[in-house]
Amino acid sequence: MLSEPEPRIAPPLGVLREVERVSQRTWAAEAVRRDPDYFTRLQQQQAPEYLWIGCSDSRVPANEIVGLAPGELFVHRNVANVVVHTDLNCLSALQYAIDVLGVKHVIVTGHYGCGGVRAAFDDARLGLIDNWLRHVEDVKHRHEGELVALSKERAVDRLCELNVIEQARHVCETTIVQDAWARGMPVTVHGWIYGLSDGRLRQLGFTAAHAGDVDPAYRASLLSVTA
Ligand code: CO
């Protein structure tokens, strides 16, 4: 007699139901209680002033950290907040944010204790991700002279900062930001870092609002040693 085959992968329905239950009873209900038109208005438009480019790390939730509500922050996240010149995913988010939504600020935000940065620092072999993290390893090699003088922990923290500075520079070098500046659009690129241990955001001294700002911003931020 044939019996029903066991599903090979059991869907985590319990977890999904729990998420749904908590979401519906708390966050959604609270939002409507404060503002009955909340979802109706959000559904109609988004008008964010900020694009956040951050790490995928589950401990770095963009909106909560900066205290912005849904609709106020456009978000792109990937492992170790890397901006690769040919990454169509990141470039498309950047182009849509600037050209269509009209965001005024692009904020590259790294975080101390980043597993991706640590793996790049250690030259770890984790799989496909190694190829992505190779970009962070390139940052490590570019700043080897500074990093070798530090203890291991400080060097990893410093690499988290240096990675933000280099990726913020990459944002400035894209045709999207260069063209926006050439058109006189008010777009400012920032480099920030978040502390998992204290929940604080720190500026890394990288702020560029014109093409001519990029080199000075880059040099100034490299000198702002905080790790
Ligand atoms: Co990370």
The 3 state secondary structure assigned to 138-202 is HHHHHCHHHHCCCCHHHHHHHHHHHHHHHHHHHHHHCHHHHHHHHCCCCCEEEEEEECCCCCCEE
CA distance linking residue 90 with residue 72, whole number of Å:
19
CA–centroid distance, residue 111 to ligand 1 (Å): 6
Ligand 1 geometric centre to CA of 115 (Å): 5
Domain, as residue range, for 3: 1-44
- Residue 15 CA from chain centroid, whole number: 26
3-state helix, strand, coil in the chain (%, to 5): 50, 15, 35
Point out the residues of the chain with pLDDT beneath 70: 1-13, 21-25, 225-227
The pLDDT score that the predictor gives to residue 43 is: 83
109 lies in the same domain as 155: yes
Give the chain's domain count: 2
Please tell me the pTM assigned to this model. Answer: 0.87
Q: Which of 174, 157, 161 is nearest to 208 (CA)?
A: 174
Distance, CA of 156 to chain centre: 18
Residue 78: which of 163, 14, 204 has the closest Cα? 163
Q: For residue 209, how many other CB atoms are within 10 A of its CB?
A: 17
- Asked if residue 156 and residue 55 are part of one domain, the reply reads yes
Give phi and psi for 67, each to the nearest 5. Answer: 70, 30
> Structure tokens of 103?
């965001």
Axis-axis angle for helices 152-173, 214-223 (nearest 10):
170
- CATH code of residue 99: 3.40.1050.10
What spacing in Å lies between the alpha carbon of 51 and ligand 1's midpoint?
18
Give distance in angstroms: CA of 49 to centre of ligand 1.
24
Do residues 177 and 132 both lie within one domain?
A: yes
Query: Which positions are catalytic?
Result: 55, 57, 59, 111, 114
pLDDT in tens, 125-155: 999 999 999 999 999 999 999 999 999 999 9
Based on the domain organization, do 25 and 70 belong to the same domain? Answer: no
